[in-house]
Amino acid sequence: MLIGGLQKTTLLDFPGKVSALVFTVGCNFTCPYCHNGDLVLGRQDPLSNEAVFDFLAQRKNVLQGVVISGGEPTLHEDLPGFCAKIKSLGYSVKLDTNGSRPEMLAAVLHSKLVDYVALDIKADPAHYPREIAPEAVGQDILRTLEIVQTSGVVHELRLPCVAPFITADNLPTILGRLSRTKASIFLQEVRLKQVLHPQFFITQGRALTREEIEKLAFQGHALGYQCLVR
């Protein structure tokens, strides 16, 4: 695993658990609002896997979980082994993913190597724009949704609220793609600091305001979905 960062303690990223947060290097998406550009572009000096596991072994009496985020963790073929070693230390594992590699997600879920999944839905899942996904990934995202929703594993769906990707006009279509979910749908406020493509927000896009996001949540509730503002 190429690991670009380690946050030693977080109370926010794994619901109900004091956790460490591991960031993997590399991503196949180019979300303009991404705040982990150095990870996406591989500019971070990698940490050794041994250093991460040594830290986790020393902190077993304090931490309860490990969050694997990125970048995009499912791009790494050794993700199952990495998760298995974390599990062997007694930790619960949460995986943050963009949903573009359903086969890898299915593998770690089938092997019971992941206890919680956070799946980002960045636009209409069937039609991600090129600003987000340079290659067509619609079928992969929809397959990932099916895998997560039928896995029995606790999961959440996260919608970063940036126009024109997520708006009041396209929210019904997006939620319609999630029609089978019983998970919480988090509408996330995006802060535009150190983003991957600042020019995008000069010429095309903008982050929705808190008030606009709350209106989206109300709209979602009216359509029968459990939408929460984060």
Instruction: Tell me the pLDDT tens digit for each residue of 181-191.
Output: 778 999 999 99
Instruction: Tell me the pLDDT tens digit for each residue of 69-113.
Output: 999 999 999 999 999 999 999 999 999 999 999 999 999 999 999
Q: In whole angstroms, what is the distance from residue 112 CA to residue 141 CA?
A: 21
> 17: how many CB neighbours lie within 10 A of its CB?
18
Asked if the model's pLDDT at residue 167 lies above 90, the reply is: yes
Domain ranges within the chain, ordered by starting residue: 3-229
Instruction: Tell me the pLDDT tens digit for each residue of 105-151.
Output: 999 999 999 999 999 999 999 999 999 998 889 999 999 999 999 99
Query: Which CATH architecture fits 3-229?
Result: Alpha-Beta Barrel (3.20)
Best CA proximity match to 143, nearest among 167, 125, 169: 125
What does R_g of the chain's alpha carbons equal in angstroms?
Answer: 17
Terminal Cα distance for the chain, rounded = 30
Q: What is the pLDDT at residue 45?
A: 82
User: Residue 42: pLDDT band by 50, 70, 90 thresholds?
Assistant: confident
Site of tokens 């996001």: 213
Contacts with 209 (C-beta within 8 Å, 6 or more apart), sequence order: none
Q: What is the pLDDT at residue 134?
A: 86
Best CA proximity match to 36, nearest among 67, 5, 13: 5
User: Residue 30: pLDDT band by 50, 70, 90 thresholds?
Assistant: very high
Q: What is the pLDDT at residue 55?
A: 98
Best CA proximity match to 131, nearest among 186, 192, 200: 200
Structure tokens at 8: 């030693």
Asked if the model's pLDDT at residue 44 lies above 80, the reply is: no
